[in-house]
Amino acid sequence: MNKILASFVLATLTTSAFAQSSTNSPYSQFGLGDLTDQSVGFNKGMNGVGLAMRRGNEVNPMNPASYSSIDSLTMLFDAGLSGQITNFNENGTKMNGKSGGFDYVIGSFRAWKNVGISFGVLPYSNIGYNYSQTETLNDQDKTKMKTTYEGDGGMHQLFVGTGIKLFKPLSIGANLSYFWGTYNRTMSSSSSASNVSTMQMTYGADVNNYKLDLGMQLELPLSKQDLLTLGATWSIGHSLKSDAELSIINSNSSISKADTTTYSVGNALSLPTAYGVGIAYSHSNNLRIGADLTMQKWGKIDTPVFDTKTNTYALKSGQLKDSYRLNIGGEWTPRPMGRKFLDRVRYRAGVGMATPYYYINGQEGPKELSASIGFGIPIMNGYNNRSILNISGQFVRRSADNMIKESMFRLNIGLTFNERWFAKWKVE
């Protein structure tokens, strides 16, 4: 238990130290930012499929019911990082951006027969952008006004979860998370003329609350080697009890005067109720394929908005919308116990689509299409033949009419470390 506690503390400190924005998308300024799919190394190679996936040598936080499958002799750790290159295209103007960072650290072990425990830190959303636009205010003297938009932050989950097999085909589970994060969004204007007033608007919020996710998996044997698994998840929506603040600074350099106005909205942020269903088919240890459909009920959530006509900062409905995500993916291992290295590699692929959860100036945000390929590479040496190096590449395309188009390539690298901590040695 001392090893487990030490590992949990190390995971927490490590991820807290490296937690950073892994996006540079201007769309991360809306809602709580760019949402993650909660997938880890092996899921990412299948484009995030996982609600009905369960194996004794993998940690699958996408559905906590999967923890009940953890092998009795195993202590699992999974850590991952990612980097991405994004091409932005707006009306023929193109530019590239790079971002990346440490993603997650999770661990899992079997506590009792048919009871698994998991813990770690996962990202929930990322905020990171910096762009500007310039317009001409006066055609005669060519006075220009430059507006700059900047933002950073994100939301994270420090969780402990358990999965229990109630009886042979049915498992249930829950993840209880300490949910925390912050966002800072700034819009500032500057002018080429000294007699023109400038303005800076800074939005901010700090979150310290909880998140609860429930899961279920049902195993339906089709034959000795074929298995069909059904999965379902439910995330409970609730207020985050967080206040949103807005500071507006109006200044004029010609008279050296600045006025600051501060607004605050109580209980401004909330998590949506979310549902997910998944199905997976597996044949022996060679093949598994699955599909997930998830829905998040953002449409019922109000968000803080500043009304320039009335100079009020208050909650407003109609800024967010219900979102849907569909992922399909699979994994093939030619010969898991074969002698040749390439026969033991796990080959993965997947595709998906998603709808946005926000409106932009009354128009639905960009839709997303994605595809991934990946490999699970077994680590074979004198002291370890159970761990897996997970490498995957994902292409994501986000687009909408009259909006910025994003083409993103993301490289994910993760290590699933599988150690026999609980084996009992017999000495004769």
Fold of 2-419: Porin (2.40.160)
- Dump pLDDT digits (tens) for 152-210: 999 999 999 999 999 889 999 999 999 999 999 999 987 766 666 678 899 999 999 99
Yes or no: say if 177 and 210 are a contact pair by the CB < 8 Å rule. yes
**Those residues with Cβ within 8 angstroms of residue 84's Cβ, 6 or more apart along the chain or in another chain:** 22, 23, 98, 99, 100, 408, 409, 410, 411
Residue 103: its H or E element: strand 93-112
- Dump pLDDT digits (tens) for 104-155: 999 999 999 999 999 999 999 999 998 888 877 666 666 777 889 999 999 9
**225 DSSP β-pair partners:** none
Check the CA dihedral 358-394-231-4 and report its sign: negative
Name the residue with higher pLDDT: 349 or 134: 349
| Planar angle of CA 421, 41, 221, nearest 5 degrees | 80
**Alpha helix (H) ranges present in 211-324?**
none
Number of neighbouring beta carbons within 10 Å of residue 423: 10
Residue 276: is its pLDDT beyond 60? Answer: yes
Q: What is the pTM of this model?
A: 0.88
Residue 250, pLDDT score: 84
- Dump pLDDT digits (tens) for 286-304: 999 999 999 999 999 999 9
Tell me the pLDDT band of 364, cut-offs 50, 70 and 90.
very high
Residue 93, pLDDT score: 85
Residue 1, pLDDT score: 43
**170 DSSP β-pair partners:** 167, 218
Token pair listed for 49: 């499929």
Residue 169, pLDDT score: 94
Closest Cα to residue 315, out of 356, 359, 361, 263? 263
d(CA 49, CA 34): 18
